[in-house]
Amino acid sequence: MKAFVPNFITLLNLLSGGIAVIFAVKGDLSTAALFVFFGIFFDFFDGFLARKLNVSSEMGLQLDSLADLVTSGLAPALVLVNLIELSILPSQDANCFLPYLGLLVLLCSAYRLAKFNISTEQSQFFIGLPTPANTLLIMSLPLILDYQNSDSYNALILNPFFLVVVTLLSSFLLNAPVKLIALKFKTWNFSENASKYILIIFSLVGLILFKFAGIPLIIIFYIILSLVNPPKNA
């Protein structure tokens, strides 16, 4: 029975992602972001519980990736499609295909998840930006628009050039051959986990000071910190 517990949590991730997709299709991007955050929360705990209960399995790994493809692949891609469409609305051509560029994130996320599933070296670090981190970056954009109430933020996020750059850059980073920190702790020793503690502290401060606008800053800091102090093999 306990073997099903992590898979049930994974299915909650998938359910959250499915609901997020529905809201994204309807154009309610902030609610979509909320359910994506729920999904990422469940995504963290399914693996944690599998390890704690000692019930990790190949099926669990595959199910997890399928759920992630919806929550951290399809949902953020649809949000980008919506945002790009909004950014070009005043001069939108009925035959404009630019918004569909957002679907590149879906394709690159699928490729990233498939590579992760067959990788034997990503137990203590990631190669390329993890799909949940990339998703947090993208899903922060509609939340900044709706809740930060800043003309400068709005002008930047609803700039089609900015959104195209975000789409292309995030798609590249998903599969970039770069080692990035994984928040996995073998011990709580500070000297062995200094980069992880620094990232956690920076994240808390960033969210307190900048709210949703702090999320892109955290992702940028995460990448820079990993490049400056690359994680080592176990």
Whether the pLDDT of residue 72 is over 80: the answer is yes
* pLDDT reported for residue 186: 65
- The band of 230, judged by pLDDT with boundaries at 50, 70 and 90, is confident
Domain positions in the chain are 4-176
211: left (phi over 0), alpha (psi -120 to 50) or beta: left
Cα distance between residue 176 and residue 93, in whole Å: 34
Enter the CATH code of domain 4-176.
1.20.120.1760
pLDDT tens readout for residues 92-137: 665 678 999 999 999 999 999 999 888 777 667 889 999 999 999 9
Summary mean pLDDT of the chain: 89
Whether the pLDDT of residue 5 is over 70: the answer is yes
Half-sphere exposure of 141 (CA within 13 A, CB side): 25
pLDDT tens readout for residues 11-39: 999 999 999 999 999 999 999 999 999 99
* pLDDT reported for residue 110: 96
* pLDDT reported for residue 93: 63
Cβ 133 vs Cβ 182: under 8 Å? no
Whether the pLDDT of residue 234 is over 60: the answer is no
Whether the pLDDT of residue 187 is over 70: the answer is no
